[in-house]
C-alpha cells in the first residue's frame, strides 16, 4: 500500500502563518479537529457542500462545494500542506486527486478498504494470521441467485450493505433465506454481506495512530454501549474488559494500522463474545465518536493526534490520566417529556456535576437521533465517573 509523501519539502513543521491543514467534511469531527489544529497554531480549510456546518463555523476557510468538485479540490490541495477526512464515505477518487497536489492521509487506498465491508473483512482475515482476531463468519451476496447457496450456519444473521452503512443503517436481521430474499429486495439488490449473528457480551473499540515515519501509538481499549444503533456511552477503562482482551485488541489494532501503512488516527471496533473471544467488526479511517473521551482523559486527544500525524510531527502520548465515561447528547434531549418545541437542555445543572466536560457541536436544529454533542465525566475512580453519568441521565431525562 502506498504511503508516498509528495511535496515533503514544502512542509513547514512550525505554525507559520501560511501553514494550512485541510479537512474533507464539515461535521463535528472536522470541527473538533479544527479546534485542535488551531490550538497548535495551524489554519484550517474545510471542504463541505453545506455552507452551514459545524466545522465550517470553526474553520479559517470554508470551501462550500461538492466533495467531487475538481476546482474546489485543486483549490484545497494548493492551499494546504496536508489534508485529511472526517467522514468515512469521502469519495476515494477525490483523495487521489488531492494527493496529486499535497500530502493526503489517510490515503485513498486505505479509505477504500474501510468503505467496503467485504474488502475490510478480507483485510482483517489477512491480519488475523498475526493477531489471531478474525471477523464474524460471513458470505457476500451480489445477486439474488446466490441466496439459495448460503450456508445454514450463518443463520440467524445480519444482512448488511457492503457500502454506506452507518449507525446501524443499511442492516436487517434475518432468520431465514426467505427473509434474506425480502431484505435484499428492499435494499434494491445492492451488494450485501450476510454476517452470522454472534452472542455479544459487550463491544469495544481501540484507537491507534501512526505517523508518516511508521511509528504508532495505541490508546486504551474503550467499552461501548449502543442504543438504537447509535453509540450511547463509552467507558474507559471498560468495566468488563480483561487485561488479556485489552492486550489482544490493542495488538490487533496495531497490526491493522501497520499493515495498512496508514497515517493518522484509526478506530477499530470489536465484539467480545459471551465466551470471552474477540471478533473484529469494522474500522473507521478517522477519529471516532468512541474516542471523544481522549479529549478530557488522555494526555493527547485523538484530534490533537490527528493534527500531529497530518503535520508530520512526533505523535503524542496516548496515556489515559483519568477514568472516563462519555455520554452522547442526541437531539432527543431537546424534546424531553414529549415536548413539541425544542427546549434547550439544562446545561447549567449538567455542568454542576463533578468532572463534567461538555462539548456541543454548534448545530442549530436538534432532531431525534442527531448527534448534538457529548459530555465526558472524568474522575480518579471509574465508579465516581459512572455515578455522575447516571446523575446526568436523570437530569436530562435519559433512561439510564
Ligand atoms: P456504526 O457505523 O455506527 O459503527 P454500522 O452501521 O457500521 O455502525 P455495525 O457496527 O457493523 O454497523 O453494526 C451495528 C451494531 O449491530 C453493532 O454495534 C452491534 O451491536 C450489532 N451487530 C453488528 N454485527 C453483528 C453481528 N455479527 N452479531 C451481533 N451483533 C452485531
Ligand atoms: Mg459499528
Bridge partners of 267, per DSSP, are 207, 284
Closest listed residue to residue 257, CA positions, set 295, 299, 206, 187? 206
Secondary structure, 3-state, the chain: CCCCCCCHHHCCCCCCCCCEEEEECCCHHHHHHHHHHHHCCCEEEEECCCCCCHHHHHCCEEECCCCCCHHHHHHHHHHCCEEEECCCCCCHHHHHHHHCCCEECCCHHHHHHHCCHHHHHHHHHHHHHHHCCCCCCEEEECCHHHCCCCCHHHCCEEEEECCCCCCCCCEEEECCHHHHHHHHHHCCCCCEEEEECCCEEEEEEEEEEECCCCCEEECCCEEEEEECCEEEEEEECCCCCCHHHHHHHHHHHHHHHHHHCCCEEEEEEEEEECCCCEEEEEEECCCCHHHCCHHHHECCCHHHHHHHHHCCCCCCCCCECCEEEEEEEEHHHHHHHHCCCCCCCCHHHHHCCCCEEEEECCCCCCCCCCEEEEEEEEECCHHHHHHHHHHHHHHHCCCC
CA of 230 to the centre of ligand 2 (A): 9
pLDDT given for residue 170 in this prediction? 75
- Report how far residue 164's alpha carbon sits from residue 40's, in angstroms, rounded to the nearest whole number: 33
What ligand is nearest to the CA atom of residue 198? 1
Name, in order, each residue with C-beta under 8 angstroms of 32's C-beta and a sequence gap of 6 or more.
287, 292, 295, 303, 359
CA of 102 to the centre of ligand 2 (A): 31
**pTM reported for the whole predicted model:** 0.94
pLDDT given for residue 13 in this prediction? 57
CA of 205 to the centre of ligand 2 (A): 9
Residue 17: which pLDDT band, with cuts at 50, 70 and 90?
low
Whether the per-residue pLDDT at 9 is higher than 70: the answer is no
Ligand 1 pocket, mutate which of 206, 281, 283 (most atoms under 8 A from CB): 281
CA of 13 to the centre of ligand 2 (A): 35
pLDDT given for residue 146 in this prediction? 94
What ligand is nearest to the CA atom of residue 165? 1
- Report how far residue 27's alpha carbon sits from residue 53's, in angstroms, rounded to the nearest whole number: 6
pLDDT given for residue 2 in this prediction? 43
Residue 167: which pLDDT band, with cuts at 50, 70 and 90?
low
Name all domains of the chain by residue range, CATH numbers in brackets: 7-114 (3.40.50.20), 137-196 (3.30.1490.20), 200-396 (3.30.470.20)
Cell 449538567 identifies what position?
A: 350
pLDDT given for residue 336 in this prediction? 86
pLDDT given for residue 1 in this prediction? 40
CA of 203 to the centre of ligand 2 (A): 9
Which atom from ligand 1 is nearest to the alpha carbon of 169?
A: 6
Determine which residue's CA is closest to atom 27 belonging to ligand 1: 197
Closest listed residue to residue 192, CA positions, set 119, 135, 130, 140? 140
Which atom from ligand 1 is nearest to the alpha carbon of 88?
A: 2
What ligand is nearest to the CA atom of residue 137? 1
CA of 168 to the centre of ligand 1 (A): 6
Q: Which residues line ligand 1 (CB under 6 A)?
A: 136, 158, 165-169, 171, 195-198, 200, 203, 226, 229, 269, 281-282
Tell me the per-residue pLDDT of 73-128, one tens digit each, with 9 for 90 and over: 999 999 999 999 999 899 999 999 999 999 999 999 999 999 999 999 999 999 99
Which atom from ligand 1 is nearest to the alpha carbon of 136?
A: 27
CA of 322 to the centre of ligand 1 (A): 28
Ligand 1 pocket, mutate which of 29, 161, 166, 171 (most atoms under 8 A from CB): 171
Which atom from ligand 1 is nearest to the alpha carbon of 165?
A: 6
What ligand is nearest to the CA atom of residue 226? 1
Amino acid at each position: 500500500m502506498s504511503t508516498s509523501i509528495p511535496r515533503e519539502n514544502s512542509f513547514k513543521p512550525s505554525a507559520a502563518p501560511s501553514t494550512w491543514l485541510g479537512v474533507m467534511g464539515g461535521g463535528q469531527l472536522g470541527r473538533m479537529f479544527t479546534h485542535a489544529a488551531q490550538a497548535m497554531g495551524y489554519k484550517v480549510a474545510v471542504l463541505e457542500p453545506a455552507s452551514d456546518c459545524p466545522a465550517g463555523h470553526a474553520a479559517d476557510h470554508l470551501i462550500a462545494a461538492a466533495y467531487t468538485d475538481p476546482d474546489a479540490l485543486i483549490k484545497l490541495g494548493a492551499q494546504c500542506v496536508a489534508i485529511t477526512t472526517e467522514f468515512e464515505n469521502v469519495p476515494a477518487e477525490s483523495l487521489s486527486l488531492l494527493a496529486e497536489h499535497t500530502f493526503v492521509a489517510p490515503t485513498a487506498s486505505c479509505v477504500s478498504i474501510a468503505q467496503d465491508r467485504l474488502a475490510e473483512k478480507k483485510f482483517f482475515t489477512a491480519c488475523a494470521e498475526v493477531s489471531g482476531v478474525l471477523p464474524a463468519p460471513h458470505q457476500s451476496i451480489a445477486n439474488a441467485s446466490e441466496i439459495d447457496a448460503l450456508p445454514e450456519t450463518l443463520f440467524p444473521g445480519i444482512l448488511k450493505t457492503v457500502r454506506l452503512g452507518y449507525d446501524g443503517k443499511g442492516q436487517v436481521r434475518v432468520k431465514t433465506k426467505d427473509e434474506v430474499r425480502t431484505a435484499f429486495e428492499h435494499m434494491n439488490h445492492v451488494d450485501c454481506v450476510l454476517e452470522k449473528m454472534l452472542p455479544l457480551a459487550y463491544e469495544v473499540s481501540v484507537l491507534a495512530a501512526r505517523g508518516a515515519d511508521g511509528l504508532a501509538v495505541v490508546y486504551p481499549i474503550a467499552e461501548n454501549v449502543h442504543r438504537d444503533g447509535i453509540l450511547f456511552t463509552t467507558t474507559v477503562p471498560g468495566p468488563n474488559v480483561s487485561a488479556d482482551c485489552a492486550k489482544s485488541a490493542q495488538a490487533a489494532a496495531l497490526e491493522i494500522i501497520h499493515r495498512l501503512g496508514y497515517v493518522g488516527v484509526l478506530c477499530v471496533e470489536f465484539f467480545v463474545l459471551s465466551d470471552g473471544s474477540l471478533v473484529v467488526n469494522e474500522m473507521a479511517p478517522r477519529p471516532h465518536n468512541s474516542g471523544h473521551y481522549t479529549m478530557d482523559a488522555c494526555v493527547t486527544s485523538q484530534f490533537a493526534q490527528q493534527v500531529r500525524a497530518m503535520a508530520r510531527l512526533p505523535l503524542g502520548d496516548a496515556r489515559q490520566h483519568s477514568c472516563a465515561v462519555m455520554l452522547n447528547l442526541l437531539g432527543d434531549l431537546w424534546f424531553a417529556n414529549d415536548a413539541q418545541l425544542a427546549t434547550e437542555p439544562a446545561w447549567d445543572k449538567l455542568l454542576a456535576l463533578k468532572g463534567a466536560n461538555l462539548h456541543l457541536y454548534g448545530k442549530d436544529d436538534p432532531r431525534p437521533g442527531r448527534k448534538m454533542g457529548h459530555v465526558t465525566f472524568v474522575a480518579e475512580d471509574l465508579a465516581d465517573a459512572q455515578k455522575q453519568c447516571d446523575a446526568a441521565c436523570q437530569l436530562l431525562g435519559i433512561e439510564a
